[in-house]
Structures are given as C-alpha cells and as structure tokens.
Structure 1
C-alpha cells in the first residue's frame, strides 16, 4: 500500500463518483477481518490507513482493568500506566500490532474492496439511469435466445424479454434491432435487472408519441389504448384545439405515420378513434369500422347496449369477438351488441327514438 493507492482513489472519486473516504473506510473494515482471519487473532483491533501516504497500521484495542481475565481484550492498570501514566480504569489502550508481512495481505484486500465498490457504483449508475426510463421505449439488439427469455442489449446492460411479452407474429434472431417497452427495473444482488415487452399497450402509445409531433407537443392527447398484440389495437385520441383533427394527425399524410407504426409491429392493425366524454359517442366511435345506429347507456352498471344494422353485426362484433372486446377495453364500458331487427323485436330501438346524435350523423352521411 502506498500513496499510489490514494491517487487511484482520487481518480475513482472523480470518474465513478465513489467517495474516497467511503472506500477507505470499507478497506479498513475489510482489513480487520483479513487480520483476524490470517493471523488467528480474536482481539478487538482497529486499522488505520494514512490518508496521505497510504501506509497501514493495525492497533489492538484493550480495556484497562484491575485484574486481567482475557489478555487479548484487557490490559492491567500498571501495564497501561507504563505506556502512558494518564490511563485510568475503564480507558481503552491502543497497542500497535501490525504484522511484518501485512502489506501483501492489505494490498490484496484493498484491490478486492475497490473492485467490489466500483462494480456496485457502476450498477448503481445503471439502475439510476434505467429506473427513470421505466414505461419508456428503447431500441435494443437481440443477443441470444433461450426457452424463457430473449436477451436484448440496451447498451450498458442486457434486458430480459419474457416469452409472455413476445409478439406471436414475430420471430427473433440474434443481431435483430427491435424497439422494446421497459416494464420493470429491479435492484438485485447481482445488479439491476430490466424487463421489457413487445406486447404492452405502452409500446403502442410511445410509438405514436415518436411518430406524431402533435402528440409529442401535447396538441393531441392519447386517452386510452387497447391492444391484442400482433393482431389488432385501438387507440383513442383527443385535442382541445377544435381546429386540430386528432385522428388525422395520427394517421398522417397518406397514412404514413400510422403505417410506420404498423410496420414496426409487423402488420398489427390499428384503429384510431376520436375520444369523447359522452359515452354514447365514444362507444360508437370505438366500434369502428362498423356503423352504429344507437347506443343505450346504463350509467349504474357502466354498461351499454349498441344497436347496429343487421348486415354490420358480424363486423361490429369482430372475428372471435375481437372488435367488441377491444372497444370495451378502450372505453371502460361493457358493450352488448344487438342487430337492428333483434332490437326492434325487443322493443328497445326504433329510428324515431334513436339518439339525436345518430340521426344527425346519419343525415350527414346521407348527404
């Protein structure tokens, strides 16, 4: 151990942000264990590292007593006064017991402690960086694949993409570049562990934020997302500015913006609908692309009955109920879809009593 160690610790403090004093105290604590282990000593000792020269000294700490019962921990008053006449019963005497070849053990121990602290600091930096990126999107490179995870390099660390978070319509190969959504960052004994997803609705939301400037600057707001990854998604959007078309902004010129996202998600179909605080209008929009004749709302049950033309029933429900299911997720309302003829037979629908909203819309469409 020498002044070179102190210089190295100073550099570490600047580069890694690890306090020099913190490392020295850790080395001193480690040296106490090393001393007891290597020299079979059980007494109470203190290790002192000179902050300038880096020299190390070991001191045995003994309590001053009238009658010594354990010489490893105690010293007689007469013997203590031989060292310093001012010692009294109950004082602690420090006697240097630095072994001759302790320097080699000290250097080894210091190296281990510094390496460990540097590793911990680097892990801490990575954790701090990625904990702020939870619920964010990053581009990574597929490194390797096993039965449980795809390991995706995010630069400083490998993230885990579980099988359950992989899109069913995708195949992955090493060196593929993929966009992933960070779902969770955990601090473990082996360092930070990052879990990512390709199926999370948040991925779709972040992709729209990247592709649509109006969403990024807050002019258009994404209100809700419903997704069945790899197959179909619905997203509701809204703008306070009446001059801004939120749906058109997301679609983009000639559909370029939404097409970029569809390509990233390997052909996943995306319905973009206008959000409304009126559940009648919102539920009708959410069932796009089907035409809706009326929406009957039950506020208490947070449920709706939707009437559609007979020829639109299968479109409204969707393949395996997908369209209705996604619309319910998007709006937060239960949706029961009925054909016009069934609704008429049940006495719950007639054009004369239909919501004014739909009569007006129908008129506009006819014109």
Structure 2
C-alpha cells in the first residue's frame, strides 16, 4: 500500500503539477493527527514518510535524563548508552514505534490528503484564471436565482450577480445565456468567488471591443462612457487616423454593430458620439441627437452653458433629464441648457 501511495504522489506531480514535497508535508501532518487519535500519542511523536520507499514511520522523541519522571518523553542515560555509547544527558533520541492497526487508517488519510490537495490545486487554478480576467467579459448560463442573487454557470465555477449589479427591469431566467463583466475575484475557504456585473460601464466598453475590429486593432479608441444601465448610454470615440470614420466603424453597416451590442444589453439605447479635444465641440456632440447653437464654457465653475433652438430644448434635455445628465457624465461638466429665446 505504501508503494501505491508513492506512485500516486509522483503521478500527481507529473499530471497536475502538485509538488511531491508539498504532498508529503501535508500527508505527514495529517498522518500525525490521525495517529494521535488512533493511539492517544503525546506531543513528542512525529510521522515520517520515506520518499524513496514510501514507508510510513512513527517516531517517538525522548530526552535523555539521569532520573526518569515521565517515561513517554524521557529516557534514562543508562538505557540510552546501551543503544549508543555516545549519548549524554540533554540529548534527544528518536525511536520507531510499532503502529499496530495504523495501516488502514494511513491509507484512508493519504487518500483524503490527496483529494484535498487536488481541490486546492483546482481552486487555485480557477482563481488565477479569473483573477487575470478581472475587467473582462465572460459568457455563462443562468442556473438559478437565490435571494435576489443571479447565479451563472461559467464552466468550472459559478459567478454571482448581486442585486446592485443587476439591471433594473432585466429578467434573468434559468438557462438564459448572457455576457457579464468580471467585477471582482475573491479568495474564500470554499474556493474562488466570481462577482459579475451587468451594469458596469466596462461591460459596454468590452462589448464594443469584441464587436468592432477597429477598436480591437487600436484604429478607433473609446475615450469615455456614460451609462444608465438598461436605459441609455453614450460612448465617445476617436479615430487614430484622419481617414477613419470612428462613428461609422462603431455603428457598422446599417447599424449592425451597435444593434448587436444593444441586443446583448436587452435593448439599451446607445449613442455613439465623436470625441473632441475642444470642450465646446465635445459638449455639443455629447448632446446628440439635439442640434446645438452654441456652447460657452466656464472653466472655473466647470459649467457648460448650452444654447439650442426652441424646438430642440426638450430633445436636448431628454426624458427626465436623461440626455443632459449623460452628457454631463461624459464631459465631466455641469451642463446648463437654455433655449434660444431664454438666452436673449
């Protein structure tokens, strides 16, 4: 049996990358605990696993003294000298104990240690895989909803969409497939915990990167995103080359690219606008689809005072102020919109 354990340990090192030294160390600790329960041994006992032969030895360590007061932890000098004339008082001697009936327990313990190490290795690999994907998008299948938390099957692990990371009004049905943003990967005693989001602006950014080759290739750059998840978003883009149309690249032929992203986000409206280094132009673009007559920037107050035609005022502000609110988020300015008549 001991030889079989050694073969199994070496096989795990080759196939799973788990160090034999780590396995032996964990095995010795577990075997010692099992032996103490089995034999009621004292603290001066240790278990040694022989790497070459696979033999399991139980060793008792006793101090050499003139007069013995505790036979379990002490041995007389006279008795020690019979074993080796070189011993002296204060030395320690280790002797192998007979481990009757311990073989079966040792085999069971070894199996438990191996299984535990395999679980730890698997959890470590999953953690490393998803830790590298923080800020990325993953695809999974909804398996259930528990206490408001959406649980998503990601293959070897489950991800969790907490209520605050869910889109208001979005339905999460079992077996539905969806894409989600990897918000955070946590280490827990039960293994890695993958926290996902459907509301994070990073989800929209990664969907554009996946859908638009020009963004992946660096020809078009996303310079900013303002998002009210499930309702409406604005994405500011800029071309790296003057001959490239950044809006056309992102919208796609007949709007195919932006429509595919909107469909993944359950119909969220997406406005793609062109970034400008001129804050007045950028504010005007950010208020799209409204047509802006003029923009006056007050740098000290961080306010953009915008003038639009009378019939464009409601469009510029948007329903419940949404268009103006998103424009403010995107530009980092407070946007004050007035009609042409009010500005006179």
User: Could you say if the C-alpha distance between residues 43 and 168 of structure 1 is closer, same or farther in structure 2, counting changes exceeding 3 Å?
Assistant: closer
Shift >4 Å, 4+ stretches: none
Name the counterpart of 1:42: 42
Q: TM-score w.r.t. structure 2 length?
A: 0.97
* Residues 296 and 305 in structure 2, CA contact (< 8 A), matched pair in contact too: yes
**Equivalent residues in 2 for 1:1-367 (5 A)?**
1-344=1-344
Q: Which moved more, 1:83-92 or 1:235-244?
A: 83-92
Aligned to 1:174, the other structure's residue is in SS state coil
Per-residue deviation, 1:153: 0.5
Aligned-partner Cα distance in 1 for 2:4–2:41: 29
Aligned-partner Cα distance in 1 for 2:180–2:63: 62
Per-residue deviation, 1:59: 0.6
Which whole-Å deviations, capped at 9, do the CAs of 1:21-41 have from their partners, x for residues lacking one?
110111111111222222112
* Residues 43 and 61 in structure 1, CA contact (< 8 A), matched pair in contact too: no
Which whole-Å deviations, capped at 9, do the CAs of 1:322-351 have from their partners, x for residues lacking one?
00111111111111112222222xxxxxxx
Query: How many matched pairs?
Result: 344
Structure 2 regions of 5+ residues with no counterpart? Answer: none
Aligned-partner Cα distance in 1 for 2:341–2:78: 111
* Residues 151 and 160 in structure 1, CA contact (< 8 A), matched pair in contact too: yes
Aligned Cα RMSD in Å? 1.3
* Residues 16 and 122 in structure 1, CA contact (< 8 A), matched pair in contact too: no
Structure 1 regions of 5+ residues with no counterpart? Answer: 345-367
Per-residue deviation, 1:165: 1.9
Q: Which moved more, 1:314-323 or 1:45-54?
A: 45-54
Per-residue deviation, 1:164: 2.2
Which whole-Å deviations, capped at 9, do the CAs of 1:82-116 have from their partners, x for residues lacking one?
11111122221001113211111111211111111
Q: TM-score w.r.t. structure 1 length?
A: 0.91
Aligned-partner Cα distance in 1 for 2:26–2:174: 41
Aligned to 2:121, the other structure's residue is in SS state helix
* Residues 220 and 239 in structure 1, CA contact (< 8 A), matched pair in contact too: yes
Aligned-partner Cα distance in 2 for 1:278–1:70: 88
Name the counterpart of 1:358: none
* Residues 218 and 240 in structure 2, CA contact (< 8 A), matched pair in contact too: no
User: Could you say if the C-alpha distance between residues 27 and 98 of structure 1 is closer, same or farther in structure 2, counting changes exceeding 3 Å?
Assistant: farther
Aligned-partner Cα distance in 1 for 2:227–2:65: 77
* Residues 49 and 55 in structure 1, CA contact (< 8 A), matched pair in contact too: yes
